[in-house]
Amino acid sequence: MTSLKSTGGRPLKGRFVVPGDKSISHRSLILGGLAVGETTIEGLLEGEDVLATADAMRMLGSEISRDENGIWHARGAGIGGLAEPEDVIDCGNSGTGARLLMGLTAGHPIRAVFTGDASLRRRPMLRVTDPLTLMGAEFHARQGGRLPITVTGATRATAIRYVLPVASAQVKSAIMLAGLNAAGETTVVEPHPTRDHTETMFQHFGVEVRVVDTPDGREITMVGQPEISGRPIVVPGDPSSAAFPAVAALITEGSEIELPGIGINPLRFGLFETLVEMGADIAIHNRRTEAGEPIADLTVRASELQGIEVPGARAPSMIDEYPILAVAAARARGVTVMHGVGELRVKESDRLGAMARGLAACGVRVEETEDTLTVHGGNRIEGGATIEADLDHRIAMAFLVLGLAAEQAVEIDDASPIDTSFPGFADAMRSLGGTFEAGDVS
């Protein structure tokens, strides 16, 4: 384990180039590795999660490479042309990669075995395997639908109409990827809008996608068995990663930072909307569009935050950002109540429980239920605790940010999971003036 601790006292200043969006990076490799001809990808996140997806696509017959300028190149055999992998596909810590790749292979007449690290093997997959079974695939899994899982893809994938029991971009995307090789129209209905990168990426590659709002929810319909060819892609900065330096600047007195080229897709921007409601000074400028995705530059300045009620309906647009929102709430005046966050219990770790325990250890009053997190904020954060990250990159980064505003250093027991989504996080934060150093845990 590689422990790390952070200490407060210095304002953050400068320009912070955030790594590429993880969700879009996964989808770029999958669609680019499926399409006929060459797809070029600029700004791909080169974290462990995404690199695992690149390896998986190679095992499925795609040509994936990186040139000396950092541009990635992908070539595929077209829809229906996946090769059966000769070995087990290891998705590491990536739930996104595992679920999307299972969807892709479920629609093809091949067999593949998926596994992951200890954290991923604990995460349930039935939400994905249930609808994919309706499309003709078969799954053999551990108890509770957990990895390792053997996928036997459909001989002829069946187009379905599926109403999601719980809003989930990963489940929606897995069904749509399986639907690529199904004749006819596949429809997914989600009760609340979730991130729409898959719909946008499909359209960028020429797949016919229709989206309408209905009394039952948001209905996404795609036409299967299209001819898709390679496309250029520019991956925006990940708003989930941008959340960490942004909150660090907000809660550290005298700070002002620039975050260029951040994805501002409204279905991913719930955290920033919430922070502005709390009184955050966040300026959005130079708006533009790349490969169908809205992008802008952000300026973030230290602010006096006020606790608020965060509605449960906002959860799909910020589900990965609640750990860092809890850190902002610890510094805000008054009480912040986050509703509809039960999904956090089945992420890389039980993030709801991890944040509650860690905040309490740092002297912050906090209460949790199965579906809510309440943080009693204030100007004083004691710190002085060692936090168990539980192999969760977002828990690790959230508490390192908390240490920048605490009276005593905050240490995490293992910083190595951070590389799954934000390689070079500590060095980048140091470049802004943050104090990060090796911890005492061995």
What are the catalytic residues?
320
**59, 277 contact by CB (below 8 A):** no
How many angstroms separate the CA atoms of 287 and 296, rounded? 4
**Nearest alpha-carbon partner for 161 in 190, 140, 181:** 190
CA distance 221 to 95: 24
How many Å apart are CA 86 and CA 155, to the nearest integer? 19
Question: How many CB atoms within 10 Å of residue 286?
Answer: 10
Alpha-carbon dihedral angle through residues 315, 425, 124, 106, given to the nearest 10 degrees: 100
Long-range contacts of 219-222 (CB under 8 A, 24+ apart): 219/187, 219/188, 219/189, 220/172, 220/176, 220/187, 220/188, 220/189, 220/190, 221/185, 221/186, 221/187, 222/176, 222/179, 222/180, 222/185, 222/186, 222/187
